[in-house]
Structure 1
């Protein structure tokens, strides 16, 4: 009929137009090579991250115990993430208590593997996982981010373009696939963020969901629920914390991540529709995990927590939902919520996190409130990690 649209052609045209526009946007936002650079941190931020006072930091410079850093014409010091790591190592070398400044793994500690998940999109999984990774890295932990979402939002936030950089190969899929898997080390990328490496995600990960039923029928070993853990075992000695950003569905990828995890963080937006959705998610999870547990999967976690996301303290119904969750799950609901704030979404417009953007670009009260919220959440997660190590 005249005027009819061929949906395949229209979708393809839309995809090509969008890809082209995104390419232009990336070149506008970042340098010509479309790779990100991390900003410098003020002396106040540096002192907070190092866990010392600003006056003690100044004294370290005055006494010549740490190297000079970038200084503005007005005499203000600014620190790169690598500067912070060097200072941390210097302080640790002379610390009376081992681990005072480098709080990562010690001999006998197992790597901490965290999964951020929920099968409802928009619950803040990617935002939570990347801010947690960055906060831990800035505090001296060695972090590996593993993006197992075919949409690859986490990979994009690290300045990569999955649809170009990893279209055919180079994602975590290459290391967990059933036919000719490659060593995980060969797909891990160094990122612009000191202390964080990335195992990228991309559309190819969807193949794992399609191939697993056939692999189960053919009894290909190791089975899907052991493949991720086997991969991580190859590199785990290089990291303190490994963080999974899971897809918004309860498929084989999510279950393989769960079977490799030591801690689980379920993100939840406090409204009744999301809570009802989570109820279904938890029931399905339990049933499916029963099956893989019976098949021999490891099912021991150091902790499971519900992370309240996009919380508005002045919203009465939200307060009621949070109270309901706390009454139901007790200490499994994290004390600190992530506040709903324009600062996080505004930073996202330029593919940045709140730890990457400069405070001067925002309303200062809005920025400080948002950063305090994220710091409280991520420091609570850090304390759970430390507790799992027996500290």
Structure 2
């Protein structure tokens, strides 16, 4: 057998073994990971009712009976699904009002390793665990977000089950039908439009479509149409959700630009390392140049989103700090001024890595699950909560008059 053929066959065997391993890990996560349980003060805070009030409603049959340990007969705590039922009964769901629009946000930077996908995933998990209706839109051909949500890319997804054919307006895929590709996750109120490797071809096809539009008499309207394909589709699917979170490629091509134009707010993760800070400045330069060109072409028809810069991978301790981490954080804050978030994402590699193996975030698991250190989980939860609460206050609530009024009362907005 020729050497090239043997190498090709060997690679095929490696890949098949790897894919079998991944499928096995997914099965373990689905079979062995218990649901997150809420009890005590956590339950009270989520439901917005006192413990005795909840217990009385259960006793009188106004709420379903609680789950009990078969051996001790003690309460196990409420699952998220049960919390959602309680929120509905007590009228405490955090949803936007019907007249308010879902907020669309994206986490983007054109450098890998900045925790773009991880932050997207954790934000969606946190908001879902608060009771919001959340939709993920995965437009990264690497499909990491899809995989994190328990869906195996290209084995359990395909081009037709992604947004690809809707973006390209393929025959039989009108934007109004895009809801049919929304998939469930392990959380009842967190859904996803999955990605697939074939989305890599969408960038090329978009480029061709825009080049063709430039040569036609009605080129401006056609170019605007192609730059807003993702926005048009998201507008068709967002009515059933409160928050839509999009994840795309770490680049600034036509598909990522589509994601930015579809967003109400863009959060730019910036690792607190000097090379990543410099890379983010390059991202800003390129985005600024692209935006100026588009604005010169389309004028006020181009609506750019708000931007927040989120420092990530920060460690202040002498033992684990990256050299210059404190210094770089100071430069990030000086550079981006009021658009830099006050909260930062610290390093939680051990926690995030262990839970990623089981396709879960710190908000999805109980203390002690998945061999995660309890204190490390507690620290990670507190850190991520601070970050995502700030995003709610700065990027989400101001767009909902009902929430904005609450912020104004607190003197926050």
TM-score normalised over the length of structure 1: 0.88
When residues 326 and 28 of structure 1 are mapped into structure 2, their CA distance, relative to the original with a 3 A threshold, is closer
Q: Distance in 2 between matches of 1:274 and 1:91?
A: 46
Map residues 158-169 of structure 1 onto 2, 5 A cutoff.
158-169=149-160
Residue 307, structure 1, aligned to residue 318, structure 2? no
- The aligned counterpart of 1:113 is 104
Label 1:279 to 1:69 Cα distance change in 2 as closer, same or farther (>3 A): same
What's the CA shift for 1:313?
A: 2.2
Q: d(CA) in 2 for partners of 1:12 and 1:113?
A: 44
Equivalent residue in structure 1 for 2:397, among 379, 386, 389 = 386
1:42 paired to 2:32: no
Is the 2:95–2:132 contact (alpha carbons within 8 Å) kept by the matching residues of 1?
Answer: yes
Residue 29 of structure 1: CA displacement?
A: 4.1
* Cα deviation, residue 359, structure 1: 1.6
The 1:179/1:169 distance shift into structure 2, 3 A limit, reads closer
CA pair 286-233 structure 1, distance change in 2 beyond 3 A:
same
Correspondence for 1:298: 302
Tell me which protein shows more helix as a share of its residues: 2
The Cα shift of 1:14 comes to 3.0
Cα distance in 2 for partners of 1:256, 1:102 equals 32
Which residue pairs with 1:127 in the alignment? 118
* Contact residue 212 and residue 252 of structure 1 kept, 8 A: yes
- The equivalent of 2:20 in structure 1 is 23
Match of 1:323 among 326, 330, 349: 330
CA contact 1:38–1:192 (8 Å) conserved in 2: no
Q: Equivalent residue for 2:353?
A: 345
Q: Taking structure 1 as reference, are residues 351 and 107 closer, same or farther at Cα in structure 2, changes over 3 Å only?
A: closer
Unaligned 5+ segments in structure 2 are 214-218, 405-413
For the Cα contact (< 8 Å) 2:207–2:254, is it kept in 1? no
Alpha-carbon contact 1:162-1:202 (below 8 Å) kept: yes
- Aligned residue for 1:30, secondary structure, equals helix
Residue 263 of structure 2 is matched in structure 1 by: 261
Count of matched residue positions in the alignment of Structure 1 and Structure 2: 378
Using the TM superposition, give the Cα deviation of residue 27 of structure 1 relative to its aligned residue in structure 2, in angstroms: 2.3
Contact 2:26 2:150 in 1 (8 A): no
* Aligned position for 2:227: 225
Measure how far apart 1:141 and its partner are.
Answer: 1.4
RMSD after superposition: 2.6
Mean Cα deviation higher: 288-297 or 55-64: 55-64
Contact 2:38 2:79 in 1 (8 A): no
- Residue deviations 1:35-86 (CA, integer Å, cap 9, x gap): 9977131304433433556566556545655322212243133222211111
State the 1:192 CA deviation.
Answer: 2.2
1:102 match: secondary structure: coil
Instruction: Say if 1:109 and 1:347 are closer, same or farther in 2 by CA, change over 3 A.
Output: same
How far 1:372 moved relative to its partner? 0.7
- Counterpart for residue 147 of structure 1: 138
Partner of 1:355: 363
Give the secondary-structure state (helix, strand or coil) at the position aligned to 1:244.
strand
